[in-house]
Structure 1
Amino acid sequence: FKAVLFALVHPDFRSSILKLPSADSIPERIQNDPKLFPFFKDHLGAADCSHVPVHPPS
């Protein structure tokens, strides 16, 4: 477990593979809606039950 965790937080892996969503990913409809935008203005990404399967080598 520790080896996988350290690999995931290693700067080389993090900078080349993992990308944080940009603020541009807010749909235009939400950006232009004064009622909805305050809830999404500082978002980092959707919580849509996406999972990335990770398996250590055998």
Structure 2
Amino acid sequence: AVAQRLSPLLGEGESLSRLGGDEFVAVISPLGSREQAAQLAQRMLDALRRPLTVEEHEL
């Protein structure tokens, strides 16, 4: 579920992997500025804040 939410935010050639438990790592292309990194991080957090529905139950 986490990968499904975060993968669309990544560009071509970038990847997302689960390290274990609730830890993930994203391998991304170099960003041009800290602001771009902060924007990507915010988009990822926003994607994870949305409720998750599993078998008609919202988590």
Q: TM-score, normalised by structure 2?
A: 0.26
Which has a greater percent of strand? 2
Larger Rg: 1
Q: TM-score, normalised by structure 1?
A: 0.26
